[in-house]
Structures are given as structure tokens and as C-alpha cells.
Amino acid sequence: MSFLVPLVVLVPLLGAAAALITGRRPRLQSILSIVALGIVVVISLVLLVVVDTQGAIAVQVGGWEAPYGITLVVDRLAALMLSISSIVLLAVFVFSVGQGQADGDGEAPVSIYNPTYLILATGVFNAFIAGDLFNLYVGFEILLVASYVLITLGGTEQRIRAGVVYIVVSLVSSVLFLASIAMIYGALGTVNIADIAQRMDTIPADVQTIIHVMLLTAFGIKAAIFPLSFWLPDSYPTAPAPVTAVFAGLLTKVGVYAIIRTETVLFVESNVNVYLLIIALLTMVVGILGAVAQADIKRLLSFTLVSHIGYMIFGIALGTVEGLAATIYYVVHHITVQTTLFLGAGLIERRGGTASITRLGGLLKAAPIIAVLFFIPALNLGGIPPFSGFIGKVALFEAGARLDDPLVYVLIGAGALTSLLTLYALMRAWNLAFWRPKADVDDHESPFTEHLEEAPGRVAVQQKRTNPRTMVGATAGMVLVSLVLTFAAGPLYGVAERAAGRVYGSNEYVQLVFPSGEGETRGDDSSPAPTPAGGPVDEGSTP
């Protein structure tokens, strides 16, 4: 099945080329793009099943052996990320096709949009399967360059303003990443992740710390963790709705994925877990306080996005298999739900003419379907019991409580508070936009809207437009996926647990890439997940 692995990158890349050629025939172009993304969905799901039953796959591109050639690795974690991201990419693409057909080419020039979107997909997939750091860097660059084009799409003044901030910040993080790759090469003479993991203990601890912090900073900017998250709520909301949705769902999660790899495979010895816990705490609290103050739904959602990255960093920083399993489940849940909410916000903006909750009202009667489609993921993100958000959060808190550490208990409290505030912000938005009678919008002073911050610049009230069935259908599909995550939580959480078990500790990853082995005992796939005996966890979480 290893021939499937490179196809994950090749298919969208070739699809992008085909879409570029057929730029003059929008219909054919859209069909080609949907087919390309659909193929990737199928491949990813097949890979997920194969990897989960038969063990992880490592491909040496071109037959060059591991430390010299380029290695692609698909383990359970990568396969899970591939599956959920390809599904999200497909759904958002269908949404944007619907929007393009309804609005014409003015808002999003289709001939550029489709190929760029597929290139973005290529970069995301490449980053997930990269087995060496330089390939990861290339994956990041591919997706970033595509995102530069998408965020400045149409070239209006506001988008250029927001785009410049986004681009400069991303450039700095890329340079930082490249510089840390150079340092790693200088220190260890390799960029292959498995090889780095093998040789890491041969270099002094302080050098390890320098490289570790550099890598974390570079990935932290991409994942938007607290002190490095300032750029996100400023730049994301200005882009077109589908672009914001896919950025929010996937781009930050690629950063989180890279952090997971860094913490679990590369730097098992070097330990910054206490600092990560504090950062996670600040990310959650500061992010959600920003969300509570926003009137613009898209900005509100951007702040909740930053805030919920904190949960994932929390899970990683716990440094246990349980914590990582909860994080993986939470990442999958959050990709789905955050994307759905942004798509819902796009529908609301079209239907109500604005995204500001101080101006919206009476939508429940006008658009009951959108009301439901926004309500379900809003409850889900807030962590209301039956949904996947609740399962993910409880799993995180349970994993944390097992460590029995005062700092972790503080984090659990902050996590619960963040969850409540998320629910408050989203339910207030829903109530004002859908439940409030239309007549109350202008003359009625509501205590809920008094202290809200409007989006910068003028509050654009556009013409109200109906939503084509394709867009509503795509959003409904995403809601359905999030419900599947809830109903299939058992098996899915099982996959996440096994993924975490195999990821933790670099042994399996190393043996996968170097099958001949360096004298280590070969891990048996049916053996129980290795517990983090002694090691990083206990040292790290004792303040």
C-alpha cells in the first residue's frame, strides 16, 4: 500500500496544474478540482484503515535509503490528520464553488482560486507526511505561499492591509524555521526526523534547548499560541468566507501537528513542558477574553480559534500518552467544528448583509436552516455534553488530573472557564442574530451589545443575498461530519489512543524509517502503549 503515500501529494498537485490549464472553463475546472480532492479523501481513508490495522508505512522516495533520501512517513497520527483535512478541504471547496456560481467572478476570480486552493491542499498534505525537517519546511512554504495569494484575493484595500501583516509574520516564522534547520544540521549532520531523534542525545543539553526553543517559536507562530497569536484575529476575518474557514481549520493545526512531532519524536529528553503549560493557560484565557468583546462574528470566531489552540498545547504539554491521545482527538474535533462555524458565519453574512451581531436580527424566521447549522457546532465548540467537544475536553481534563499537579489543576479550571466563556460568546451571537426580533435591532438597547467592539473600519452592510443550495449543503455536510465524530467517538478515540501510544517515544518512528535497526528491540504492534515511565513527564510537571 506504500504506493498510495506519494499520491496524497501528487494528485492535488497535478489537479492544480489541470485546473490552471482549464482556467477558461470554470465548470470543467471545478469538476477537476473536486475530483482531485475526492481522490485524496478516498486515499486518506484507505491509508487510515491500512495503517491502523497493519502498522505505519514509511516510503523512501526514489529508493534512496533513509538518512540520504527523502522519507515520507504515514503513521496513525498522520493518516488521521490526512483524512480529516482532506474531508474538510473538499467540503469547503464545494462551498466556495457554490459561492462562486452565485456571485460571479467578482469576489473570487475562479481561474486563480481553484489552482491556488489545490496548491494549499498539496502543502498541507505534504507537511503531514514529511519524514524529514526540510521536507516539512517545503510543505510549510507551499501552503504559506498559496495562503498569501488566497488571503489577498481580489486585492481590495482592506485585504492587502491584513494580508501584509499576515505575510510578514509568516515570513519571519519561515526564516526562523530554516535557521533552526541549519542549526540542527550543523549540530547533528542530518535533517531526517528519525535520524535526528537517534542522534539527539549525542549533543550537549544546552544546544538541544536552543534548537528546541527555536523550533517551538517557529511552529508557535504558525499555530498561533499566545504571545505569538496577535496576527491571527487581525488577518483571517478579512478573507472570503471559505478561505477563512479552511485557514482556521487547517493552517494552525499544521503548526500544532509540527509541535506534536517536535515534542514527541525529536526532543524527548529536552523538556519545556512547564513553560508550555503556562503558555497554554495564557492562550486559552487571553484568546477567549478577546472573543467575548467582539461584535463581528468572524472576528469572534478567530479569537475562539486562538483560545482553543490552548487546549491542544495543554494536552501536548502534559507529556503523557493519555494527554496526547486527547489532543489528537481534540485536533480532529476542532478542525471540523471551527471550519463549520466559519462556513456558518459566511452563510449568516450573506443572508443578513453583515457579520456584526449588533446589526443582525430576526434570522430565525428568515433562515431556519442556517440557525440549526450554526447552533449545533456552536454548542459543540462550547463543550455541551453529547457532542465531540465535550468528549475531547473531558479526555483532556482526565489526562491532566492523573498527573495530580497543582499547575495542571489550575489549567483544568481555566479550561472549564474558557469552555463556558466560549459558550457564552457563541450563544450570545446566536441569540442576537437569530432570536432577536428584527424590530429590536435599531432602537432597542440590549445589555449584551453595549460593550462590544465592532470590526475595524466601516461596518459593511451589504446587499442581502440568498444562499445557494450548494453552500448550505456543504455546511450541512460538515455539521454531519462533526456529528459522526460524536457518534463514532469510541472507535475514533481508539485510533487516537493507539496513535498517541505509537508516537510517544521515538523508538517506533525510528525503527519505521530504519528497518535494519540500530540494535533496539523491535516494537510489537500489539503490545500495550508505552507508558511514559519516569522520563520527561514527571520531571517536567513538578514545579
Partner 1 sequence: MSVSLVLIVVMAALYACGVYLLLERSMTRVLLGFLLVGNATNILILIMSGRRGAAPIVDGQAAPVDFADPLPQAFVLTAIVITFGISAFMLALIYRSWRLAQVDTVVDDVEDLEIGRRGVPAEEEDSQSDGDDVAGGDTEFGDRAEAAVPTEALRRTAPGDTAGSRADPAGSSRTGRSRTDRTDQPDESENA
Taking the complex as a whole, the smallest distance from the CB of residue 42 to partner 1 amounts, in Å, to: 31
Strands 57-60 and 71-74: antiparallel
| 59 in Cβ contact with 5 (< 8 Å) | yes
**Shortest Å, Cβ 520 to partner 1:** 26
Residue 292, all three cell numbers: 467575548
Residue 203 CB, shortest distance to partner 1, in Å, is 13
Residue span binding partner 1 (CB under 8 A) among the ranges 72-80, 155-163, 346-354, 472-480: 155-163
Name the grid cell of 384: 455541551
Indicate left, alpha or beta for 353 from its phi (over 0: left) and psi (-120 to 50: alpha): left
145 is a site residue for partner 1 (CB under 8 A): yes
Of 207-266, binders to partner 1 (CB under 8 A) are 234
* Residue among 171, 197, 240, 111 at smallest CA distance from 504: 197
Kindly tell me which residue out of 7, 183, 210, 459 binds partner 1, with binding defined by CB under 8 A.
Answer: 183
| Of residues 448-487, those binding partner 1 (CB under 8 A) | 453, 455-457
From its phi and psi, is residue 63 left (phi > 0), alpha (psi between -120 and 50) or beta?
left
Site for partner 1 (CB under 8 A): which residue of 45, 49, 102, 178? 178
Question: Binding to partner 1 by residue 528, rule CB under 8 A?
Answer: no
Residue from 101, 185, 407, 535 that binds partner 1 (CB under 8 A)? 185
Q: Does position 163 bind partner 1 by CB under 8 A?
A: yes
Q: In whole angstroms, what is the distance from residue 524 CA to residue 508 CA?
A: 9
Contact 354, 500 (CB under 8 A): no
Q: How far is the CB of 154 from partner 1 (least distance, A)?
A: 5
* Among 69, 148, 272, 449, contact with partner 1 (rule: CB under 8 A): 148
Q: Residue from 10, 20, 31, 141 that binds partner 1 (CB under 8 A)?
A: 141
Task: Please tell me whether residue 502 adopts helix, strand or coil conformation.
Answer: helix
Single out the residue of 50, 55, 134, 446 in contact with partner 1 (rule: CB under 8 A): 134
Nearest residue (CB) to partner 1, 232 versus 408: 232
Closest distance of CB 109 from partner 1, Å: 7
Beta bridge partners of 132: 192
Give the nearer residue to partner 1 in terms of CB position, either 44 or 147.
147
Tell the smallest beta-carbon distance from residue 164 to partner 1 (Å): 6
131 neighbors 71 (Cβ within 8 angstroms): yes
Contact with partner 1 (CB under 8 A): which of 3, 62, 157, 204?
157
* Residue 320 CB, nearest approach to partner 1 (Å): 35
The site that binds partner 1 (CB under 8 A) totals a number of residues, namely 36
Grid cell at residue 245: 474557514
The residue (of 191 and 503) whose beta carbon lies closer to partner 1 is 191
Give 299 or 436: the residue with its C-beta nearer to partner 1: 299
DSSP of 424-491: HHHHHHHIIIIIS-TTHHHH---TTTTTPBPPSS--------PPPHHHHHHHHHHHHHHHHHHHTHHH
Rounded distance between C-alpha atoms, residue 423 and residue 407, angstroms: 24
155 binds partner 1 (CB under 8 A): yes
Closest separation in Å from C-beta 275 to partner 1:
25
- Nearest approach in angstroms of CB 162 to partner 1 is 9
Joined together, the cell numbers standing for residue 306 give 486562538
Q: Kindly state whether residue 186 participates in binding partner 1, applying the rule CB under 8 A.
A: yes
Q: Which stretch binds partner 1 (CB under 8 A): 123-131, 137-145, 285-293, 337-345?
A: 137-145
| 386-425 positions binding partner 1, by CB under 8 A | none
The stretch near partner 1 (CB under 8 A) out of 185-193, 215-223, 405-413, 492-500 is 185-193
- Among 21, 35, 61, 168, contact with partner 1 (rule: CB under 8 A): 168
Q: Which of 9, 136, 167, 371 binds partner 1 (CB under 8 A)?
A: 167
Give me the least distance between CB of 257 and partner 1, in Å please.
21
Torsion (CA) 127, 129, 132, 138 in degrees, nearest 10: -30
103 is a contact residue toward partner 1 (CB under 8 A): no
Burial class (CB within 10 angstroms; exposed 0-12, middle 13-18, buried 19+) of 439? exposed
> Which residues touch 114 (CB under 8 Å, ≥6 apart)?
16, 19, 29, 30, 33
Asked whether 354 and 459 are in contact (CB, 8 A), the reply is yes
**49 φ, ψ to 5°?**
-65, -45
Burial of 512 (0-12, 13-18, 19+ CB in 10 A): buried
What does the block give as the cell for 50? 491500512
- Packed helices 388-403 and 489-503: angle between N→C axes, nearest 10 degrees: 40
User: Interface residues with partner 1 (CB under 8 A)?
Assistant: 106, 109, 134, 138, 141, 145, 148-149, 152, 154-157, 160-161, 163-165, 167-168, 171-172, 175, 178-179, 181-183, 185-186, 191, 234, 453, 455-457
